[in-house]
Amino acid sequence: MCGNNMSAPLPAIVPAARKATAAVIFLHGLGDTGHGWSEALAGIKSPHVKYICPHAPFMPVTLNMNMAMPSWFDIIGLSPDSQEDEVGIKKAAENVKALIDQEVKNGIPSNRIILGGFSQGGALSLYTALTTHQKLAGVVALSCWLPLRTSFVQGAVGVNKEIPVLQCHGDCDPLVPLMFGSLTVEKLKSMINPANITFRTYSGMMHSSCIEEMMDIKQFIDKHLPPVD
């Protein structure tokens, strides 16, 4: 372990059953680790896809009385006008881009990589996809929001203007209200091709996942990362 902030343990990985020709990088939520999501993704896996679930570094989180926990960046508050950790968000996005680069070095082109995440991880996956120079295959954004949304001017997205997005939200989410999801979809539609954005809501679902959502995620991954052989 080196002394930098990303000295979190190595990602939880669900290897491809045969040669990996595509990858899903999935970022967990605040206070969690990659293990739970790697298990969930193992339940919907495709044989040619590698699933990578990194663990966030430990850091004090303002929202939780400065308690240290796994977190991609600091969260100051949960209302739409809360101050945001701009430096931390940008640094975290650079770390995710480095993970994508690593997979490209491993022989998987970036346009065969889907970036996804839940809650804080979903927020980071959206922000990274909209700011990276790497052309990606898609984004799966679960129960989340777009960080630093005012920093995006209309149509200012780089290579991922046509990126397919699956955004999912529970209609009973008490932590990240459905309204955040709806506002995020509207913002995304002003930045990338609206025809490529799918917004799914799940009746009765709180700040969590469900089987129906996992099936929608599987369908999205299968559609945008088909086998090449």
Q: Classify residue 43: in a domain, yes or no.
A: yes
For the chain, how many structural domains are there in total?
1
What pLDDT is stored for residue 7 in this prediction?
A: 54
Q: Classify residue 7: in a domain, yes or no.
A: no
Q: Is 148 exposed, middle or buried (0-12, 13-18, 19+ CB in 10 A)?
A: middle
What pLDDT is stored for residue 156 in this prediction?
A: 63
What pLDDT is stored for residue 78 in this prediction?
A: 84
What pLDDT is stored for residue 1 in this prediction?
A: 34
What pLDDT is stored for residue 95 in this prediction?
A: 96
Looking at every residue in the chain, the average pLDDT score rounds to 93
Catalytic residues: 119, 173, 207
Q: Classify residue 221: in a domain, yes or no.
A: yes
Q: Classify residue 52: in a domain, yes or no.
A: yes
Q: Classify residue 215: in a domain, yes or no.
A: yes
- pLDDT tens for residues 130-176? 999 999 999 999 999 999 998 886 656 778 989 999 999 999 999 99
Q: Classify residue 3: in a domain, yes or no.
A: no
Structural domain harbouring 154: 12-225
Instruction: Work out the number of other CB atoms within 10 angstroms of the CB of residue 180.
Output: 20
Are 114 and 137 spatial neighbours (Cβ–Cβ below 8 Å)?
A: yes
Q: Classify residue 111: in a domain, yes or no.
A: yes
149: domain CATH number?
3.40.50.1820
Q: How many helices (H) and strands (E) in the chain?
A: 5, 9
Average pLDDT of the residues in 198-213: 97
Average pLDDT of the residues in 205-228: 97
Instruction: Work out the number of other CB atoms within 10 angstroms of the CB of residue 217.
Output: 23
Average pLDDT of the residues in 60-80: 94
Q: Classify residue 4: in a domain, yes or no.
A: no
What pLDDT is stored for residue 81 in this prediction?
A: 85
